[in-house]
Amino acid sequence: MQIRIPLSVAIITKNEAENLTACLQSVSFAEQIVVVDSGSSDDTLQIAATCGCDVFTESWRGFGPQKQVAVGKCRHNWILILDADELVPPETAEVIKRIVSLPPAAAGYSFPRKNFFQGRWIRHAGWWPDRVIRLFRKDMGQVTAAMVHEAVEVKGAVIALESPLEHFTESRLSNLLLKIDNYSTLGAVTAFAEGRKATIWSAALRALLAFSQDYFLRLGILDGAQGFTLAITDGVNKFFKYAKLNELNRRHKSGCLPDKSCRKLEQS
């Protein structure tokens, strides 16, 4: 039998049945795996329960708050946060085991993240090394409250590890479009709450700049067709984020609630 270490793994899910088994198998060395689900309609909950996870169902709060809820349900002081489409390779697992078994040398640890898209490891356009803090002491760290693009903040020293995590990002274009719609909405709502403004023309300019930066300046062109697709994706996401922000500002100015339609606005 595999010896388990005093480590809690925190994962949030919604309809992650295709990814979750591999993710859970890669962290089977942890004594506790917490899965906080926000309403899956597939086999996510059954998979988590079968694998012996501590399973909770919570209403969606946004990525940062939801992950912090999962952290709060962890019983060990060492916590590893993973997304359901991420894996801990065997060599990285050995590094984590050593860290947890020894006296603390730092409050947290960051990992380079290998992102795979349509079967290809993406090495350019900021996708590598894509360093993220994921392993930390519970009494020294927390997840930011951001609705999207959340991060772990640690009070104390952070050691940069060379052992990677692996991330198998959504590759099916139909699902990717749904993801863009969700992320651009969250980004627009966050920007609106911060009092930011945008026009449809500034949204288009941001999209063009995002594509140009990713594909040419940051060498996404070297990642083949996948690099081109991701650069287009980033540009589309930027356009809709700021176009939606413009829409929210227009609705606010005309007296419409952000989540309601307005005939006067639709005709403007």
Ranking 1-5, 190-194, 241-245 by mean pLDDT, the lowest is: 1-5
Predicted pLDDT of residue 263: 43
Q: Strand pairing of 152-154 and 54-57?
A: unpaired
pLDDT in tens, 245-268: 999 999 999 987 555 545 433 333
Asked if residue 16 and residue 88 are part of one domain, the reply reads yes
- 215 lies in a domain? yes
Same domain, 132 and 207: no
72-123: pLDDT as tens digits: 999 999 999 999 999 999 999 999 999 999 999 999 999 999 999 999 999 9
pLDDT at 259 (0 to 100): 54
Residues 47 and 98 in one domain: yes
User: Are 82 and 27 in contact, with CB atoms under 8 Å apart?
Assistant: yes
User: 142 with 67: CB under 8 angstroms?
Assistant: no
103, 223: one domain = no
In a domain, 248, yes or no: yes
Tell me: do 164 and 177 sit in the same domain. Answer: no
Kindly report, residue by residue over 156-178, the tens digit of the pLDDT.
Answer: 999 999 999 999 999 999 999 99
Tell me what the mean pLDDT of segment 21-40 comes to. Answer: 98
**Sheet with 5-13, side-by-side order of all strands:** 54-57, 30-37, 5-13, 78-83, 132-137, 108-111, 158-160
The answer on 205 and 148 residing in a single domain is no
Count of domains forming the chain = 2
| Domain encompassing residue 18 | 5-168
Last residue of a domain, one of 136, 168, 200: 168
The enclosing domain of 140 has a CATH number of 3.90.550.10
Q: What are the tens digits of pLDDT across the range 196-238?
A: 999 999 999 999 999 999 999 999 999 999 999 999 999 999 9
pTM: 0.93
Say whether both 158 and 181 belong to one domain: no
Instruction: Let me know whether 45 and 9 are in one domain.
Output: yes
Q: Rounded mean pLDDT of 33-41?
A: 98
